[in-house]
Amino acid sequence: MYAITGVTGHVGGAAARDLLARGEPVRAVVRDAARGAGWTAAGAELFVADLGDRAALAEAFRGCRGVFVLLPTDPVAADPDAYHRGLADSIAGAVLDGGVPHVVMLSSIGAELAEGTGPIRWLHHMENRLRETGVPLTAVRASHFQEKVETVLDAALGAGVYPVFGASADVPVPMIATRDIGGVVADSLTTPAPAGEIVDLDGPEYSERQVAEELAAVLGKPLTVVTVPRPAWVTTMVEAGVPLPLAEELTGLYDAEQRGVLRPGGGRRHTCATELGETLRHLVKSIS
């Protein structure tokens, strides 16, 4: 049995589907039973537990050969730093209390850095807390998700604009499909490295302008790429509906990227193959 958190999201859902397709038993851990009903129909065992409830989460993990965990972002947390560190502590505690033999965590490039990376510093904290349990940890460090386009779809569909929070829209970076990340998670659970490891994910490279062009082609409408100047980042995000504390955290992330500090950390390199166009076609189809 493998316990998967985040099954209602992209990566957790992809990992659970991959495992089920292999005939592996899956325990889908959800906060809301209603949202997890589809997983029962798909053949998974459903377990209701909040990631912040250490005792309940430990029970969800008990008896499993391995678990997959992630640190979801709460956009409305009044104190984002305290909230997300506390959530990471709860998850690590549940891994320890539940007698988990191996844990796979969705992390990020830059997670080796303690500060100066915006929300990634919470993943640094979580990696360290999980290692402190003594349970072998596989930290899957991803770069940009191809599905991040979801965050600009309203602007693209409504105003025909593709906003870029950076100095240039023409710098190519690796962008990885979450379905590929889910496959790596499933592989790591079923064939774990005995002592744990860091897996640095690589993938096809695209500039933001290329992403906008690909998205425009899928939508069938032209998009104007707008580079948002640094002083306007927070204001622009808040006007788009992002809570101020989260907008400030994301600004720290974008700053880190501009400084070039978000790089692979020296783990085992794994290259993902799904191209952006395939992801965008699936994404747009799912919302139409």
pLDDT digits (tens, 9 = 90+) for 35-86: 888 888 889 999 999 999 999 999 999 999 999 999 999 988 889 999 999 9
Structure tokens at 287: 């919302």
Q: Is 199 in contact with 138 (CB distance < 8 Å)?
A: yes
Question: What is the residue extent of each domain of the chain?
Answer: 2-287
Residue in the block written with tokens 């099954």: 7
Q: What is the pLDDT of residue 38?
A: 87
Say if residue 266's pLDDT is above 80.
no
Q: What is the pLDDT of residue 133?
A: 97
- Mean pLDDT computed over 125-137: 97
Residue 19: C-alpha distances to residues 42, 179, 186, 242 (Å): 11, 12, 6, 34
Is the Cα torsion angle 181, 184, 186, 189 positive or negative in sign? negative
Q: What is the pLDDT of residue 78?
A: 86
What does pTM read for this prediction? 0.94
Q: What is the pLDDT of residue 288?
A: 66
Say if residue 158's pLDDT is above 90.
no
| Options 3.40.50.720, 3.30.565.10, 3.40.605.10, 3.40.50.800; CATH of 2-287 | 3.40.50.720
Residue 184, amino acid:
V
Q: What is the pLDDT of residue 170?
A: 95
Query: Among 62, 64, 80, which residue's Cα sits nearest to residue 72?
Result: 80
